[in-house]
Amino acid sequence: MRKLVDAETKRRTAEQLGRDHVQMYGIPQLSENVEFLRASGEQLRQMRRVVAPLARTLATRLAARRRRARAGSIDLRKTLRKSMSTGGVPIDVVLRKPRPARPELVVLCDVSGSVAGFSHFTLLLVHALRQQFSRVRVFAFIDTTDEVTHMFGPEADLAVAIQRITREAGVYARDGHSDYGNAFVSFLQAFPSVLSPRSSLLVLGDGRTNYRNPAVDVLADMVTASRHAHWLNPEPKHLWGSGDSAVPRYQEVIAMHECRSAKQLAEVIDQLLPV
């Protein structure tokens, strides 16, 4: 009887919402395919279990890319110059010098309730990949920015560290609602020398400003000061620019990437990890 009731319920739901909707949301999904903004507390806990294997996969791919980069490409000018001593025959190939040391990573993340699950998962993944960078600094904000790097030491309990952010860090000084503009301004005021030509800047959040000044010009200055700059957004692209979303304006100065699930996040980070 229970099976008959379940089957009839699914049939009627499919008629009302459409079969595609039921296929997407009516059956259990793999943890890496669950959307961050739709995930329940239990699903988020399950998603955290995929962090370690994801990090290992990404680190392996990055190591392979770095080995290829260290091999170097041919320095044509020096090779031709050296071939003059052998009648113009390039017997000894001269390779370009490898790129400099690993870059620094600066993470700036919105930890307000609407995107907290996404930011927390991404911080766990970044922490697992920390050895791929010469240095990782983490800054959190709701309406004001504060550094929380010290909470993510090598021996830190990450679940506890994430809980400490909203309790101990100075991430809000106004009404506790997301204010990206003030977060960017306070970041540059309090930490003016963090970003440099060796820095890779990673912004995490949905770009919803509660209709406040988005301070696009300030973000532009931050992007200019960095070697690389990318924004990871857990919202579906079709919602970018709706309501209080300032994403289209931010896209004018920084590359924006949709990261709705752990799988999509891993694919994006795999593409963005600097060699």
pLDDT at 20: 42
Homologous superfamily in CATH for domain 101-272: von Willebrand factor, type A domain (3.40.50.410)
Give the residue among 263, 272, 254, 199 at the shortest CA–CA distance from 234: 263
Sign of CA dihedral 216, 222, 227, 233: negative
pLDDT at 257: 96
Return all residues near 81 (Cβ < 8 A) that are at least 6 apart: none
Spatial distance between the Cα atoms of 104 and 127, rounded to a whole number of angstroms = 13
Spatial distance between the Cα atoms of 171 and 139, rounded to a whole number of angstroms = 9
Spatial distance between the Cα atoms of 182 and 143, rounded to a whole number of angstroms = 6
Q: How far is CA 121 from the centre of its chain?
A: 10
Spatial distance between the Cα atoms of 170 and 174, rounded to a whole number of angstroms = 11
Residue found by looking up tokens 């039921």 in the block: 22
pLDDT at 56: 82
Least confident of 58-72, 134-148, 218-232: 58-72
Spatial distance between the Cα atoms of 76 and 93, rounded to a whole number of angstroms = 8
pLDDT digits (tens, 9 = 90+) for 135-149: 999 999 999 999 999
